Every structure is written in structure tokens, then in C-alpha cells.
Amino acid sequence: MQAKKRYLTLFSAGACLILLFCFGGIQVPLSRGASRRDDRSLAGYRPGARWRHFPGSLQPFSPREQDDHNEHISPRQKRDANLGVYGGKRCRMESCFDFSMCKKNGFKVYVYPQQKGEKMSESYQNILSSIEGSMFYTPDPGQACLFVLSLDTLDRDQLSPQYVHNLKVKVQSLHLWNGGKNHIIFNLYSGTWPDYTEDLGFDIGLAMLAKASISTENFRPGFDVSIPLFSKEHPRTGGERGYLKHNTIPPYRKYMLVFKGKRYLTGIGSDTRNALYHVHNSEDVVLLTTCKHGKDWQKHKDARCDKDNAEYDKYDYREMLYNSTFCLVPRGRRLGSFRFLEALQAACVPVMLSNGWELPFSEIIDWNTAAVIGDERLLLQIPSTVRSIHQDKILSLRHQTQFLWEAYFNSVEKIVLTTLEIIQDRVLQHTSRSNLMWNSLPGGLFTLPQYSTYLGDFPFYYAKLGVKPYTKFTAIVHVVSPLVSQSQPVMKLLVAVAKSQYCAQVIVLWNCDKPLPAKHRWPVTSVPVIVIEGESKVISSRFLPYDTIPTDAVLSLDEDTVLSTTEVDFAFTVWLSFPDRIVGYPARSHFWDGNKERWGYTSKWTNDYSMVLTGAAIYHKYYHYLYTTYLPASLKGMVDQMSNCEDILMNFLVSSVSKLPPIKVTQKKQYKEPMMGQSARASRWADPDHFAQRQTCMNKFASWFGTMPLVHSQMRLDPVLFKDQVSILRKKYRDIERL
Amino acid sequence: MYASGKYSSRGPALIPRMKTKHRIYYITLFSVVLLGLIATGMFQFWPHSIESAADWTLDKRSVHDAPLVHLPVSSPIPERGDLSCRMHTCFDVYRCGYNPKNKIKVYIYPLQKFVDELGVPISSTGLSREYNDLLSAISDSDFYTDDVTRACLFIPSTDVLNQNSLRIRETAQALAMLPRWDKGMNHLLFNMLPGGPPDYNTALDVPRDRALLAGGGFSTWTYRQGYDVSIPVYSPLSADVELPERQPGPRRYFILSSQTAIHREYRAELERLKEENGEALLLLDKCSNLSQGAASARKRCCKGQVYDYPHILQESSFCVVLRGARLGQAALSDVLQAGCVPVILADSYILPFSEVLDWKRASVVIPEEKLSEMYTILKNIPHRQVEEMQRQARWFWEAYFSSMKAIGLTTLQIINDRIYPYAARTYEQWNNPPVVKWSSVNSPLFLPLIPPRAPGFTAVVLTYDRVESLFRVITEISKVPSLAKLLVVWNNQNKSPPEGEKKFKCPECTAIDGLSLDQTHMVERSECINKFASVFGTMPLKVVEHRADPVLYKDDFPEKLKSFPNIGSL
């Protein structure tokens, strides 16, 4: 019993101990539990708690009836008030630009006459002559919408020899200055050591700036234009092609990231370049700096200079440039640097390290598609960032550098025209380019929104939009000889073309001096035949963008062209696959004549061709518009005067847009009726001068384009079963084989 | 703690003096207590039961329980907001760190109720339904973190969507009291209705230091490009009304004006346009006979005839969105939802999400001054473009306007794209509706490059075990001058490939067996095509009727002058 008692006591004691432990131990979780319960009821009120949706009905943020403000000042007054308030640094088109000056004559640009004794840099001369040669130029200030100074404002660094003194007074004395309204001022350099301000040293008033190295802080969005920094040697026209000739897959080049340039030991913009050595690994990331610049560099040199300088001399800049996947573009004293354009040309994807630089043409160019926008504060992350970029992305970045370089940067003319087109887009507003027009081939300078604002009306965006061209064409027959008999080739041609299942309409362009024949003399066809009497009877009128062309495709024909319905059908089905190119029958070629140092033209049967003549060719209607508006009057005038070369000019134009050769279809070589003694047209071809003229044309055109845009092709397209040894009945285009 | 201490001092002293009767009583009592304690412990550590308990209390959670915070009068006020702020000057990028996922982390402050010293709240509405939805959507997204130390972007829970319901000075003080405020660095405020009478400023008037502003109704003078985000003004009709998507095409009316608060000057101009162009225009206004309220927001009237709003928007090709006292209009959202092309007349207005959206493909922007020319301008737009715009408008609404969630997450994505620009979403990703994404082609290799001949080509020959046929192919192909390299892929695990360095001659080669003529082979290949097409979701192959031949192919021309003389002589 005693033992039992003892056990019981022990058990009780044990139980009590457990109890104690339990109480003591549980006390803590209990209290924690209690506070947790508080937390739960306060979820969303305590830091560290997850935000959760509050149940129940809450008030909406706005009453349904919003601002009723008929009492307030009239919107017109409000607009006028803006004019006074937002000037200077806060200028916008709405407040500092007079749109009414552009209403009457459209977007025309006037250049002040050059004053005697004023010195002018070559770069500025190039800018002015690019404007004067453009379609925007007007010599009449009364018609102008935009004014450009003849005073050289490019270099506003007081220490520079190019610096123009007394600009303030000179500008104020211009009688058209008008406080700078509707003026644009071009500038590459502003400010000087040590602070490099962005002030031009004279009052620009209400004028817009087209400025290099402009900072986001000073940039007035939608008003100023950021332009790239370009060197004295930058060509006026033509311009260097992009370096990329073929794709390499995988896309990596010898170096991953390179830079070679000056290092500023102290002062503005020195931080980033001083830190580059941290990232340099002398293997695939090669970032080289030199202290050797300026007169007294030895005085300021630091401990690293000698080592850096030695490393710097080991590498060749151009070798690195063309053999690197990425090129670092750090800011210099100013935000922009020459490295930027150099990298673009070299297909070396720029890695920007220039905080606060408003990138060139940022208003229209989506730079994320062609460059890596880095942050100077994150320099040390740059190598891992560029290494993380996927191969696909590198390829597309690289392609985009090439596209942008050739579309907007490779000549002074392109830079100037892009600047003007940006401003024109603002002025015309509802007929302006969309982002896609600026950022994809062939670029904004070739995509004129005055033609259409709908992307699908151009030959360039079908694939991007996932749409197809309209599956009909309009034939335009250029007629220069009178209608004398019903057996004339033009009659047969009209009948053959109109029979095509894809033909929507035939237009006869009557460029003959004789009066129009009576209606009944034209053949009867199932599609409408419209006769247009040429007003000036010039040959360029065959490329006018007639409103009566309802289709995307145009079949251009000479009056003596011989073409069967099958041939027309086949050519059109081929064109549907290549809507941005000329597709047709008569192929010609160009060549470089080394002896005469000029371009030559040949109609011989050769293994390749670079032109398809518009006597029998299909192309997109948009090229009519480009021919008429984009090409200068000088070239069109020359063509009209000679009544020759219009077909060559069209080939130049299309190839400069598409960067591709035209497409010859089928074996057919002869596309004219061989016997045509009496017609004017035939005599034109028989003329020995005719051929010589065409040689001259080639060279005139090449000099205006600044380069030879024609591209050779060794391929012609035939129907799939062409000349194959299968039954003729299985062939869809069997007539094509019966020559 | 106190109670347990008492037990521990008394307990042991009691036990020895106990009688048997009491003993049983105590043991029973202890056992009951013990069992109870174990049960409590079990309950305590059972994770599932905790969840259910949490849910139970959650439903009782309410905004009214938010902790009250008193603002001293002298509490600091932030600076007005620096117009020159940009990401590289006013945003601390180090907080976002190097992030392999290229995704910013966003923290939301817990809800607090701020009142001044007299106990008057800083906001007349407190947390609005929309801001609650917005914050909840963000907290459910990949951007969200509840760890304040890992966050790169901070969002106050103080609702500033509508400035009219705010006390400006006190709201600013409340913001400055946030624990991580730090001059507003990396803080993001959402505001849809800025300004107030009579001036109606175009950005939130609450002083906010360096905080980013996602604002509806920015003008070019208040918008800090690349720093602020322009957002839409959310329309409550988005949630209340369902408008089915309509096929793009011509509509009953050409131009429709449905806003009720149009300035009389503009209304007069619209009336004039209506006189000139008649039935093509429909001008609607408030219904005078209906009382104010929710019902009247859904009706519009014209000459006594009543129309349902926003359904009537679907009956027009173009819908006018005129500025009111504010630049941003909720009507824009309704118009887009209806698939009507907005005609925006609001000078200097920064369109919603204009940093990434190409509005030229979805809207027509006309200067207010040119209102009288509106009809002519719109008539000149090609039909096909109008259809594309209708589709695009509807897509913008669905993707970026339709809910507070869409608006909030788009804003964060835009900021994310700035911080990780090399991983930013592309123009196509932002702007192409799904139907275009499927049908369009976007290759990274888009440049028309005509490669030089010099590097030649690499031949890749796949082989199983027909060595003779392989040798024949190799012999033929190695005659080609531009062949740079020949790669044979030996696709047979049971045999090892023949020794290399062979002279490729094959006199005993027989004709290729008729594998490709085999019927079952063809059937199999047809099955493949069907399988592939179903996986691709579409048939990507295109049919053409042409093939490429050399320029002088089959021409009556000396063969030796041809570049490719032997083609076709198989």
C-alpha cells in the first residue's frame, strides 16, 4: 500500500510536472497564437503581411457624373493662354510653333541666303545643301513652314576654331527671325570645358533644336530633335553600306564587348571611363583607355595610366570594332560620342552607358531593338547582362543596327531628311507614320504616309501584319502611236491581258499626239477599259499614281509588248509571293566598265540580270507614288526630255527601297513585235542614240542615289513543271512552253 | 505566465496530504486537463486547421479596422515633385539588383487610416473599390513581394486615384510618414483624376518628392517622359456592361459623339458638322427627363429619342473623345470596348501607355482647333485601315483597359521594361492582337542579305546503312567547287560507320531503291503533316506555282557560256 501510495504520489507528481511543462511550454505558442489571430484579423494592416483583397462593398473612386464645366473658360482661350505660358525650356509644338504657316503650301523649308564673309564648316554646308536638294525646299520664304539659318551653329564650343562669334546679334538682325518661331537650329557641340553646358551661347527664342548629345533634362519632347554626332568626314550623300554581309550562326564574334578611347582623369563624364578597367578581362571583354590626350596629360596622370596606355597600344580599334558582338558606347565629356555611329555601321550592337542621353531620333526609333541601354550605375553588371542575351536576340539586334544605319544615319542627307520628316509628321499629325513604318524595312524615308496611313497599302508589311495583297491587278498600257488598224499589237495585247482571271481593269494611257480614237474602236473586253489622255504626254506620266488604279498590283505594258494571257497569269502569281519587287519578262543587266570608269548597260543574254523593264512587268502601285514624289525633278525631267530611261529609273528606285533584285519570269526573251516599221515607238528603239542615252542615264542615276542600288540575280522563276518530261496536260501554264 | 507560476509553487506541496478518495478525483482531473492540453497542442500545430481559422476571421476583416494614424500638424511635407526627374536621377536602381528573371519586386504598404490631429480623415472616401482591386491584382502577380527589404518598388496603400476626395496637404504628410519613403524614391502612386476646379492641373497636386506617378490625364508639360506612366481613366462600365466583340466593318453611323460634359463651344461646332453631313453623324447628350444617378449614366438622348449607352457606341465607326476639364476621359475606355475608333481631341494630352502602345494604329488624334475639319479628315482614311483600327481599339481595351488589374500590371510591366530594357517586351508583343501574332511572320533574320560565295556551303548527309548510295552522293557532291565541308550523320546504332579517308568511288552502286514510292511511306508522311499542323495550330506551309531556274535554263545558247550548264539533265 505504501509502495502503491508512493507510486501514486510519484505518478501524480509526474503528471503535475508534465502539466507544468505543458502550461509553461504551451504558454509561448499560445501567446504567439493569440497574436497571430490578431494578425489575421489585421491582415493588410501590418508590415510584412501579405496584401489581400478587402471584402465587402467599397465606394467607387469617381462619381459617375464627372466634371461638368460649361461654366469654365472657353477652350479656345485656354489654348491661347498656353502660348504665353509655355515658352523657352517648356516649348512644345502647341505653344511655340505656328502651324498656320504650313497650311497653305504644306511642309516647305526655307534656307536663309548665305551672307558674304561668313565662314561655314563643311558639315553645315552639307546640311544646307541636303535641304536644298530635298523635296521640302522652297526658295520663297513666303511659302515656308520651317526656316533654317545660314549661320553655322554646329559648333558652339568657344574654344573651337569653328566657333562663330556674335551669333546673338547676327540672329536678332535677321528680318524673318520672328523670335525664332518655326526655326530649326542644328547643333553638334555646345558648351566647353569644364562644365560642357548645353546652352548655345545665344538666345534661340522659340526655335527648335536639332542637337547632338542632348540630355533628357533639356530635351523638349515632341519639339526638339536629337540627332547623332557625326564627323567632318561623314559623306553628304550615298553613304557607306552596313558592314554585315552574311549571317554567322552562332552569332558570337571573337570579342564579346569592346571599347577603345580616351580616359578623362577628372571632371564631368570621367567616372564611367575611369571605372572601365574593373570589367576589362583582356580576353573577350576588352575595354581600353588611354590617358594620352591633351597637352599636359603627364601632369594629371594617375597610377594606372602607364599600364592602361601599354594595354591600349596592343589592340587595333578597327579590328576590335568589326570582330565584336557588342560595343560599349560610354559617354565622353558630352553625352554622345562618335562610337555610336561607328558601332552601328560595324553591326556591333551598341551598349549604351550614357545616363540621361536622349538617343538620336528617339521620337521615332525604338532603340531597344538595336542597342542595349545600360545604366552607368550598373557598369559592373554589364558583362553578365550582355552574356545573358539570347542568340536570337543578338541576331535581330544586329540586323536592326544595319537597317537603322542605312535608313537614317549613313549620310548627312539621311540625318537631315529624317529630322525634317519627323517634324513633318508632327505638322501633319493625322497623316503621320506609325512606329512600324519607322522601325522596320524599308524605313520611314521610303514610307510616305501621304500615300496612305494604312500599313496594308504598302508592299512592305504584308508578312508583319499577316495579310495578303489584293489578288487582282490593273494593267496600264502606254500608247504613243496612233491607232490605225485592228491588227495592231496593242489590240491583241489588250484582249490577252483583259482575259486574265486576275485582271481588274485596263487603263490605256494615251500619250500620242493624234486625237483619241472613237470608243467603239477599242476591243470589247469583260473588264473595264479606261482611257486616260496624258496631259503633258511625257513618258513619266506612265508612272503617275492614278486614282483609277483600284488594285495593289500594276501590270505595266508598252503598246508593242507581246504577252499571252497565260504569261500574264503566271507573272501575277509570282508577284503575289514577292510584292515588294518588280516581276516581269524583259531582263537587262548593268556592269562596271573598268576602262571607262563608269557604269554600263547591256541587253545581251547573260547569266544574270539586275533590271526587269517596265514594258512587261508587275509591281506594287506604291512605286508609282514613290516615283512621282520621291524622285527629284531633275531626274524625271531628264527622262521626259529624252523619252527614255524611265524603266531604268524605276528599277533603280525599287532596288534602292527593297535592296533586292527584280524577278524575271520564264524563258521568254523577246517581248516586242519584231516588225514595226512605221510606229514612233519602234523608231525610238531603232535610234542608235537610244542605247547611248541609256548608258548616260545609268551614271546620272547612280550619282544621284550616291551608290549603285541595282542588285544582280542569277535566278529566273518558271512554272513548277516547266519543260519537265511529264504530260503537257498535267501542266497548268502549258502555253508558256510553246514559244 | 503569472498563473503557471502559482501552480508551480502550490502543486507539489498538496500531493502527499491527499486521501485516496481525493486521489482518484485528482487523477481524473489531471487526466482530463492533460488530454485537453494535448488536444489543444495538436490543434495548435495542425497546419490545416490554422488556415481554416484564418479564413474564418478574414471575412470579418474590414477597411474600418485599419489602424488609425494621427498626423501631427507639423509633420513634414514632401517637396512638390521635380519635373526633371528621370530614372537615372530619381530612381534607385540598386534596390532592383541583378535579377536573373528580370522582374522587379513590388511591395505594398499595409492599410492605415490617416487622420489629422482633430481626427478628420485625409480622404473622404478612403480605400476605393478600384484601388482595392488594383492592389489585390498586384499582390496576386509575380511582381509582388511581402518582404519590404527585397522590394524595388513601393506602392502606398493610400488611395489617391481621385484628387477631389483628398486633402492635399495631409495626404502628402501621410506619404512622407511611410517607413521607406526616403524622399519618395522608388515609390509609385496611381492617380486617375488629377487636379480640381478651377484650373484642373494635369498631374496630381499632392506634393510627392521623387515618387513616380502613374497618372490619367497628363499633358506634355507635366508628364516626365520615361519616368511617369500615363494610364487610362478606368471606366466602371468596363465591369458592369458586357459588349460582345463585333467584326470590324462599316457601321450605321460614321461619327458618334456621346459625351455629356462637352463645352458649349465644342458642342456648337459639332452641331455645325451635323448640319453639313447629316445622318452620318449622331450627337447625343444627357437625357433631360431622367433623374441623375446610375441609370442616367447608361442612357443618352437626342431629340427626345433615348439610346442605351455604351451599346450605341457599337453602331458607329468613329467615336469622338473630347477633352473635358480634364484631358483624360473615361469615355475613351468605353469607346475602345465598343470597338469604335476613338477620335481624340485633347491638345497636349499624353495618351495612355503611349510609351509602348502605337496609338496611330488604333485612334485618330486631331488638334482641337481642327474639330471643324474632323469629317473630312476621317473620310480620307482608307476603309481597310478603319477596320484594322476597330480591331486594334478593341484589343487595346481587352489587354490594357478592361480592369484595374490590366491597368496596374501594364504600368508595372512598363516600369519593368525600363529597368531591364534588354529584356523589354517588343513592339509586336505590345501591339499585335492575338490573331496577328498567329498569322504574322517576325524573323530575327529580316535583313535582305545576299551572302558572298566565298565561304561556300556545308553539306549534311543523313545516312542509315546504305553505304553504296552514300558514297555515290558523296562522290557527286564533292565535285561542287563551293562545297566547304561535308558532314555525314551516321544514324545507325547497330553498325559503326565505315573507316574515314576513303576514296569515294562506287562502281557497283545500284539505283536508289523505291523507298519514296512506297505507299505506306506516303501515308505516314501525310499523317505527319496533319500532326504537325495540329501542333502548330495552323498550316504554316504555303503553296507557290513557281520554281527557280538559272537565267539561261533550257535556252538555245552555247552550253559552255552558261553558269549552270548541266541542270536538268538528270
Say whether B136 and A52 touch across the interface (CB within 8 A).
Answer: yes
Alpha-carbon distance B334 to B238, whole Å? 7
pLDDT tens profile B401-444: 999 999 999 999 999 999 999 999 999 999 999 988 888 888 88
- What residues of B are in contact with residue A381 (Cβ under 8 Å)? 98
Average pLDDT over residues A248-259: 95
Find where cell 571573337 sits: A254
Type of residue found at B165: S
Mean pLDDT of chain B, nearest integer? 86
Alpha-carbon distance B512 to B468, whole Å? 10
- What residues of A are in contact with residue B293 (Cβ under 8 Å)? 64
**Cell numbers of B252, please?**
450605321
Say whether B161 and A62 touch across the interface (CB within 8 A).
Answer: yes
Between A24, A44, A434, which is nearest B110 by CB? A44
Among A186, A176, A185, A191, smallest CA distance to A207 is for: A185
In chain A, which among 172-231 make CB contacts under 8 A with chain B?
A: 216-217, 221-222
Q: Are A268 and A337 in contact (CB under 8 A)?
A: no
- What residues of A are in contact with residue B39 (Cβ under 8 Å)? none
Specify the pLDDT at position B540: 86
**Cell numbers of B200, please?**
484642373
Specify the pLDDT at position A578: 97
Specify the pLDDT at position A297: 85
Specify the pLDDT at position B288: 80
- What residues of B are in contact with residue A378 (Cβ under 8 Å)? 93, 98
Q: Which residue has the higher pLDDT, A256 or B557?
A: A256
What is the nearest CA distance from A656 to chain B, expressed in angstroms?
12
Between B100, B448, B554, which is nearest A658 by CB? B448
b/e per residue A101-120 (b: at least 16 CB within 10 A): bbeeeebbbbbbeeeeeeeb
Say whether B325 and A72 touch across the interface (CB within 8 A).
Answer: yes
Q: CA of A225: how far to CAs of A59, A107, A359, B347, in Å? A: 46, 17, 10, 20
Alpha-carbon distance A458 to A439, whole Å? 15
In chain A, which among 594-653 make CB contacts under 8 A with chain B?
A: 605-609
Q: Per-residue pLDDT for A458 more than 60?
A: yes
What is the nearest CA distance from B235 to chain A, expressed in angstroms?
9
HSE-CB at B269 with a 13 A cutoff on CA atoms is: 19
What is the nearest CA distance from B442 to chain A, expressed in angstroms?
6
Asked if A456 has any chain B CB less than 8 Å from its own CB, the reply is yes
User: What are the two backbone dihedrals, phi and then psi, of residue A341, each rounded to the nearest 5 degrees?
Assistant: -70, -35
For B302, the enclosing helix (H) or strand (E) is strand B299-302
pLDDT tens profile A36-61: 434 444 555 677 778 888 888 888 88
Alpha-carbon distance A168 to A171, whole Å? 5
- Other Cβ atoms less than 10 A from the Cβ of A322: the count is 17
Residue of A54, A214, A441, A726 to mutate, interface with B, max B Cβ within 10 Å: A54
Average pLDDT over residues A418-438: 93
Average pLDDT over residues A615-644: 96
pLDDT tens profile B326-359: 999 999 999 999 999 999 999 999 999 999 999 9
Q: Per-residue pLDDT for A531 more than 60?
A: yes
Say whether B446 and A54 touch across the interface (CB within 8 A).
Answer: no
Asked if B507 has any chain A CB less than 8 Å from its own CB, the reply is no
Specify the pLDDT at position A69: 52
Average pLDDT over residues A200-207: 93
Alpha-carbon distance B90 to B87, whole Å? 6
Burial of A484 (0-12, 13-18, 19+ CB in 10 A): exposed
Between B26, B57, B562, which is nearest A12 by CB? B26
Say whether A399 and B89 touch across the interface (CB within 8 A).
Answer: no
Say whether B27 and A12 touch across the interface (CB within 8 A).
Answer: yes
Alpha-carbon distance A540 to A553, whole Å? 18
pLDDT tens profile B352-392: 999 999 999 999 999 999 999 999 999 999 999 999 999 99
pLDDT tens profile B10-46: 444 444 555 666 777 777 767 776 776 666 656 555 5
In chain A, which among 345-384 make CB contacts under 8 A with chain B?
A: 355-356, 366, 368-369, 372-373, 375-378, 381, 384
Average pLDDT over residues A439-448: 96
Mean pLDDT of chain A, nearest integer? 89
Across A535-637, where does the E strand assignment appear? 553-558, 583-584, 587-593, 598-602, 611-612, 616-620
User: What are the two backbone dihedrals, phi and then psi, of residue B365, each rounded to the nearest 5 degrees?
Assistant: -105, 125
pLDDT tens profile B226-275: 999 999 999 999 988 999 999 999 999 999 999 988 998 999 999 999 99
Percent pLDDT > 90 in chain A is 71
Q: Which residue has the higher pLDDT, A485 or A623?
A: A623
pLDDT tens profile A652-693: 999 999 999 999 999 988 777 665 444 444 455 567 788 999
* Neighbouring-strand partners of residue B116: B71
Q: Per-residue pLDDT for A66 more than 70?
A: no
- What residues of B are in contact with residue A49 (Cβ under 8 Å)? 110, 146
Least confident of A142-146, B349-353, B465-469: B465-469
Average pLDDT over residues B445-453: 87
Say whether B358 and A435 touch across the interface (CB within 8 A).
Answer: yes
Asked if B554 has any chain A CB less than 8 Å from its own CB, the reply is yes
Asked if A89 has any chain B CB less than 8 Å from its own CB, the reply is no
Say whether B358 and A376 touch across the interface (CB within 8 A).
Answer: no
Find where cell 518628392 sits: B209
Say whether A436 and B361 touch across the interface (CB within 8 A).
Answer: yes
In chain B, which among 45-84 make CB contacts under 8 A with chain A?
A: 45, 53-54, 57-63, 65-67, 84
DSSP state letter for A233: T
Q: Per-residue pLDDT for A629 more than 70?
A: yes
Average pLDDT over residues B541-554: 93
User: What are the two backbone dihedrals, phi and then psi, of residue A117, each rounded to the nearest 5 degrees?
Assistant: 85, -10
Residue of A1, A7, A52, A61 to mutate, interface with B, max B Cβ within 10 Å: A61
pLDDT tens profile A268-318: 888 899 999 999 999 999 999 999 888 888 888 888 999 999 999 999 999
Asked if A719 has any chain B CB less than 8 Å from its own CB, the reply is yes
pTM above 0.80, yes or no: yes
Specify the pLDDT at position B300: 92
Between B326, B546, B555, which is nearest A574 by CB? B546
- What residues of A are in contact with residue B323 (Cβ under 8 Å)? 75
pLDDT tens profile A687-725: 778 899 999 999 999 999 989 999 999 999 999 999 888
Least confident of A165-179, A363-377, B329-343: A165-179
**Residues in Cβ contact with A482 at an 8 Å cutoff, skipping those fewer than 6 apart:** A512, A514, A517
For A682, the enclosing helix (H) or strand (E) is helix A680-686
